[in-house]
Structure 1
C-alpha cells in the first residue's frame, strides 16, 4: 500500500500540464478519420472524488456525451464464506452503489482520503471498473482528463498515473477548481455585456469530501500561488459532528454514513440555530436528538478554515483585476449546500472592507462541473499535451 498526503507547497508543473493554458479558448481539435484497424477513441472527463466520482465520456469524433454517471468512490471486496449466488455472478469486487448494496457481505474500502489516493490497489480496482463502464468491450483507446486537488504534490499525481496505467491510454491532470470554472462556464453567454466569464476572472471555492480547494482563475493555467488546498472539508465536518455526538450522546452507535446524511440535510453556518431536532434509530429504537449546536459548530469551523485562505488569494490578485474578481466568487462542491455559506462569506468580506463583494453558489449541478470541465478540456487538448501511460 502506498500512502501520500496533500501539500500546499509550491510544486513544479510539468511542461505538458503547464501547456494546458491553451485549452481555455481554443476550439476542439479536429479528429482525423479513423483508418481500418485503428481503435476508436473515447474522451473522458473524470472527477475522482473522495466520496463520489463523476464521469462523462463521449467519442472523440463529435460532441456527444454517451456516459454520464456519478459513482460513490468505494470498493467492496467479498467476505470469506459467502453463500453461493448471494452476489450476482459471485463477483468478488464491486464499486459504487453495487458495493454499498452489499455492504453486509463485503469489506468496504474508500481508496481516497483528503482528496488523494490513500490505497493504491483499491484505487486501481475502482478506476479499472470505471473503464468498464465507459468501454464495456475494452476495445477503445481511452483518453482521460482527471481533476486533482489544488496544489496536489508530485507523489499524489504519480499515484493517479500509476493507478491509471494499463487502464487509460493517455491522461492529463488539471486542478479541480480550474475544471469547475471551465464546467461552470456558459459558452452561449460569452460576449453578453452582463455576463462575467468565470474562466477570465473569478475565484472558485470547491468544497469536497476530502479537501477544500480555492483557486484564482484568470484566463491562464493557475500557478501554485494561485491555489490553496485545505485538508479540511466535508469529511472533517462529519468527524467533528461524530465526536460531539459521542460526548453528548455516548454510545449512540450512529454510523458515519448516517451522520453525513444528517449533516447534508441540516448543515448551516452563522449564528447558532436551535432547535434542530433529528429523529434517529439507536439500538433499534427511535430517538430525537437536538443537534443545532453540534451541526453549527462543525460547519462554522469549516468557514473559519476557508475564509483566511480566501482573503489570502484575493490579496494575491493584481490591483487591475481585484474589483471584478470580488464580483465573481463562486462556491461549488458538496459544501456549497451548507445553508448561508454564500451570504455569510459575502457579509464577512464586506465587514472587512472589501469593495462590493458578490458570492454565489454554483447551483444544483455542482456534482458535475469538474467532470464537465474535464471533458471540455479533453476535447480541446492538443496531441502533444496528452501523457502516455505504459502498463
Structure 2
C-alpha cells in the first residue's frame, strides 16, 4: 500500500519521485533529488568465462556494453519502449532498469514512486511486463504516454499536438487538459530506427560492397540529418570491400529524412481530423516536435509546409528534446495524488 506523505507516517525527505523514459535506443531517469541519467538501452553479458574474467562483471550496460560488444552477447531488451515478451529479454530488461534506477539511490528512501512513459498504445502484456520489471524497485507506478509527458513538462496541456519521434516509434497525441484516450493518440513505426535502415539501404545501393553497421549509420544521421529541397555535402569515411573511401552521403541523408516527413504529416492530419471541430484550430497552431528525431535540421518548417492544406499551422521544436519525456514524467510524478499510482510492492 502507498503510504500518504503526512507528518505522522512520512515526510517528503523519505519519499523519492522518479520519472523514467524507457526507450528502444536510450533511456533516461530523473529524480526529485536532482539526479538525471541517460544510458543507451543495451545490456551485455559475457560470452564465456574468459570474457567474464576480462570484464570483471556478470553484466555491463550502455557504453560499456557497446565498447566490449565483441566479448559480450548484446541485448536491446526494450522493444518500442516496452519489454520484449521472452524470458531472456525480460531478464535483461530487469537488469537494465535496476541499473538505471540505482543511479537515484532509491535505497536511501522509505518509498519510491515512479511515472513510467510508454508509447501511445501499450498492450496488457506490455503493462504486465513493466510491472514485473519494476517490482521490488519502486513502491508504486503510473504509466503515461510519452506525448502527454512532453506536454505536461512544457506546460502545454491546454491545447497541443505532440509528435514524439523516438528510435522505435513516433507517437502523436492531441492534448486538451486531461489524460489522452486511445482515440486521441496514434503510434507509427516510422521513426529513428526506420530512418537508420532506410539510410543504410540507400548507402548500400549507391556504394556496392559498403561495410556498414547500424551504429555507424545512426551516428552519421545524428551528425548530419536534415530535410531540404537541396543537398548538402556530408563527407564520411566508408569501408568498401575493406578499402577506406571518403564519400559524400549528403544527398542520401536528405532523401531518407525527407521520406520520413509524409508519415509524420499523415499522423498529425488524422489526429486533427479526429478532434472536436471547434478545437481543431487551437491544436493546429500548437504542434510540438520532441524526441531525438526532432533534431533533424529543418523538420519543423517542412512539416508545417506539408500541413498547409489543412489551414493555418504552427510547428515548433521543444528544447532539449531527448530529455523532455523524463522531465515531464518527473513533474507529473510529484503533482499526482497517491490514488493515481498502482502499488506493486
TM-score by length of structure 1 reads 0.80
Q: 1:34 to 1:80 in 2, by over 3 A?
A: farther
Judged with a 3 Å threshold, the aligned counterparts in structure 2 of structure 1 residues 66 and 48 are, in CA distance, closer, same or farther, namely same
Judging changes above 3 Å, is the alpha-carbon distance between structure 1 residues 66 and 283 closer, same or farther for their aligned structure 2 residues? Answer: farther
Equivalent in 152, 173, 180 of residue 215 of structure 1: 173
Deviation at 1:159, TM superposition (A): 1.6
Contact preservation (8 Å) 1:56, 1:375: yes
> Is contact 1:206-1:214 (8 Å) kept?
yes
Contact kept, 8 Å, 1:76 with 1:108, in 2: the verdict is: yes
C-alpha separation in 2, matches of 1:366 and 1:279: 29
- 1:70 and 2:28 aligned: no
Q: Is it true that 1:286 corresponds to 2:252 in the alignment?
A: no
Which residue, 308, 311, 332 being the options, matches 1:354?
311
Q: Deviation string for 1:208-229 (max 9, x for gaps)?
A: 0000000101101101111000
The 5 Å alignment of 1:242-261 reads 242-261=200-219
- Superposed CA RMSD in Å reads 2.4
Partner residue of 1:44 out of 10, 15, 18: 18
Q: Which position in structure 1 is the counterpart of 2:268? A: 310
Deviations 1:238-293 (A, max 9, x none): 01111222222233222211100111112122425154332345577531222233
**5+ residue gaps in structure 1?**
1-28, 59-64, 186-197
Are the counterparts in 1 of residues 166 and 293 from structure 2 also a CA contact under 8 Å?
A: yes
Tell me, yes or no, if structure 1 residue 163 matches structure 2 residue 137.
no
The offset of 1:146, in angstroms, is 0.2
Verify the 8 A CA contact 2:115 2:330 in the aligned structure 1. Answer: yes
8 Å CA contact retained: 1:34, 1:40: no
**SS of 1:82 mapped into structure 2:** helix
- Whether contact under 8 Å (1:331, 1:342) holds in the other structure is yes
Residue number in structure 1 paired with 2:98: 128
Kindly state the Cα deviation for residue 84 of structure 1 after the two structures are TM-superposed.
7.0
1:31 and 2:1 equivalent? Answer: no
CA distance in 2, matches of 1:323, 1:83: 59
Alignment-derived partner of residue 142 in structure 1: 112
Match of 1:377 in 2: 332
Residue 108 (structure 1) shift? 1.6
Matched residues in 2 for 1:129 and 1:84: separation?
18
User: Once the 2 structures are TM-superposed, how far is the Cα of residue 234 of structure 1 from its aligned partner?
Assistant: 0.2
Distance 1:206 1:200 in 2: 18
Q: 1:101 aligns with which of 44, 62, 67?
A: 67
Alignment pair present for 1:367 and 2:322: yes
The separation in 1 between residues aligned to 2:294 and 2:59, in whole angstroms, is: 33
Paired position in structure 2 for 1:26:
none
Using CA pairs below 8 Å that are at least 6 residues apart, which structure has the higher relative contact order?
1
Q: What secondary structure is seen at the aligned counterpart in 1 of 2:143? A: strand
The aligned length equals: 339
Contact (CA 8 Å) 1:254, 1:282: kept in 2 or not?
A: no
Query: Secondary structure at the residue paired with 2:103?
Result: helix
Q: Does 1:239 pair with 2:197?
A: yes
Contact 1:272 1:292 in 2 (8 A): no
Structure 2 gaps of 5+ residues are none
Higher helix share: 2
